[in-house]
Amino acid sequence: MRPRLPATIRPKAEVRRFTADTPGERLDRFLARQCPDLSRSRLQDLIRDGRVRVGGVVVPKPAHRLRGGEAVEVEVIPLPPLEVVPTPLPLKVVYEDDDLLVIDKPAGLVVHPGAGHQTDTLANALVAYLGRAPTPDERPGIVHRLDKDTSGLMVAAKNEAAHRRLQAELKARRFKKGYIALAEGRLSPAEGVIDAPVGRDPRRRTRMAVVTGGRPAVTRFRVLEYLPGATLVEVWPETGRTHQIRVHFASLGHPLVGDGVYGRPCPALNRHFLHAFYLGFPHPRSGRWLEFKSDLPPELQAELARRASRSPSGPGLGGSPAV
């Protein structure tokens, strides 16, 4: 039996550099747009602590108004180390070798520890499964993430070298990720590209939105089938912004079925309809291309069957797109 040792996450300090692009904007609001991974209160604390420079000068006031064109630097101080407690949760491992494992994540499983989820996350399960922390300074083996209620394929590294290499491949956009989604309404045209920047929603900071000045985000899609009240879509994101697919389809007026954040809940489905069905990437050691596919989980298949049964053309014949 593998020894079960706690892992310690030690986030690295970093300096982020930006150029002010909106004259008259508050400093904290500008940084919130540029750093969607940090809360507004965290950014305000960094400003007050003297960790932000505008034009090379420390500015300790969150309400400071930018003129536009200034160089803005923020020193992001790491939070205290977070111990990841090993928790032997069930994992569906679809592939494993000396360097990595590919997991088919169920909906409802949070990837990283956080408020309300300290011991029941994928990170906890990975530490328990491996018996150790795969890397000394990063989250346990995790290369990319899926939202809590998104199911499907993820890759995790088993050693530091593999973790660094996989992260580099991801950053270079050499990962290929495909999703199956069910969007509300009848999506038209039957295929296309959504090219719209994604950032923190200025009205509701817990959400993301298509916003001017957000980070570039590109999503390709192809309609697979029209069903009563919804469209089954194959989705291929070219970037990996937080909530990107959900935000992009909501911006078209077609939020994902069951998405209570960007659309509305679905009484028959206790999650949003988004599944990572395809994952391809170069092996971190050999460079050989690996690819994996995952079937829709039973609850998503049941939702399709329920909708298809309402179609005049009968189950499974909800209508093909004209392309």
Q: How many helices (H) and strands (E) does the chain have?
A: 6, 17
The predicted model gives 79-85 an average pLDDT of 70
- What is the domain partition of the chain in residue ranges? 14-76, 86-171, 176-308
CA distance 140 to 8: 9
Of 28, 99, 104, 147, the active-site residue reads 147
CA distance 112 to 155: 14
Output the pLDDT for position 313: 54
- pLDDT tens, position by position, 152-208: 999 999 998 999 999 999 999 999 999 999 999 999 999 999 999 999 888 887 899
| Residue 295 among the catalytic residues | no
Note whether 86-171 and 176-308 share their fold: yes
Is residue 32 pLDDT above 80, yes or no? yes
Mean pLDDT lowest for which of 31-35, 110-114, 267-271? 110-114
- pLDDT tens, position by position, 105-128: 999 999 988 778 888 999 999 999
CA distance 183 to 246: 9
| The overall pTM is greater than 0.85 | no
Looking at residue 257, its amino acid is V
Output the pLDDT for position 38: 84
Architecture of domain 176-308 in CATH?
Answer: 2-Layer Sandwich (3.30)
CA distance 32 to 71: 16
The predicted model gives 37-61 an average pLDDT of 91
Mean pLDDT lowest for which of 5-14, 73-82, 216-225? 5-14
Residue ranges of alpha helices (H) inside the chain are 27-34, 40-48, 122-130, 160-171, 244-251, 298-308
Is residue 33 pLDDT above 50, yes or no? yes
- pLDDT tens, position by position, 126-166: 999 998 765 555 456 899 999 999 999 999 999 989 999 99
Instruction: Give the CATH fold of the 14-76 domain.
Output: 3.10.290
CA distance 103 to 135: 18
3-state secondary structure 4-47: CCCEEECCCCEEEEEECCCCCCEHHHHHHHHCCCCCHHHHHHHH
The hierarchical CATH code for the domain 86-171 is 3.30.2350.10
CA distance 27 to 51: 12
